[in-house]
Amino acid sequence: MDPENSLIQEIQALRKERNAIILAHNYQPGPIQDLADLTGDSLELSRKAQETDADVIVFCGVHFMAETAAILNPDKIVLLPNPAAGCPMADMITAQDVRRLRQEFPSVPIVTYVNSSAEVKAESTVCCTSANVNRVVASFSDADTLYLIPDQNLAKYAARHTQKTLHYWKGYCPVHHGLSASMVLKAKAAHPDALFLAHPECRPEVLDLADVVTSTSGMLRYVRNDAHNAFLIGTETGILHPMRRDNPHKSFYPVSARMVCPDMKKTSLKDVLRSLKTLTPQVRVAEEIRLKALQAVERMLEI
């Protein structure tokens, strides 16, 4: 038996023993996605984390995702197999920054992308994801002005779908923000028959070139159901794994091979096994922060 299969068998046995569920984000390495009980985008995984009757949640993603699972599941053990898996965009804003914003804009609701720390969520009115940001913005029927944090590109995308005034923090995802219009045009020239799917975290000039703008789960649904056979994918390259696995007769091309998130690639099968063996590293959120952050997350989940 090869070492990878041996690791997987050990993980499967421990998973049953611990009554654990393994959640993996769509950007995780292929072997991690294949091992997971559930894969998805941050909204799907947030919902699944809330619904599970497992005692242990093994979250193969980055720190803020495991934190969100811990916010929703205070009585469960939440494990982040590799604690070094962070998010540069989440680190671009602090709770203190949000408190200052609230002083500057006292009557303006603060809509916070789930790609943020628990402390930042705790200072927010409501959370959103790339899949539901437009619905969340529209849900504020009495507010003419909102402040979106921390992703400027998601805010600019949302601004295209509302008459409201949207202020925004100048954070960004380095992977998506690094994609330029010229890179897209070059890829389109190389694959003229391919539809271009872009993530809302991309720059506005990139979204202008897209045939479809949607979240990672939206992309997976779209390529499964659409009649086209070739797609240019404008998001982190991990999404190509389930696309190619589940649609073997279609062709998928990364719009740029540079769209790789180092943090999303940090989790290994060995990390997952060690995590299940030792029930560490656990992600915990202080109760005072958890309760405040929970309000913002639950408001989102109710929309």
Binding residues for [4Fe-4S] cluster: 87, 173, 261
Annotated binding site for iminosuccinate: 25, 42, 113-115, 130, 199-201, 216
The two three-digit tokens of residue 17, written as one number: 């023993």
Rounded to whole angstroms, the Cα distance separating 154 from 51 reads 27
The two three-digit tokens of residue 101, written as one number: 């914003």
Q: Where are the alpha helices (DSSP H) in the chain?
A: 3-18, 30-35, 42-51, 63-72, 95-104, 118-122, 133-138, 152-159, 174-177, 181-190, 204-207, 216-225, 240-246, 269-278, 287-302
Annotated binding site: 25, 42, 87, 113-115, 130, 173, 199-201, 216, 261
In the chain, DSSP finds a helix count (H) and a strand count (E) of 15, 12
Rounded to whole angstroms, the Cα distance separating 237 from 216 reads 11
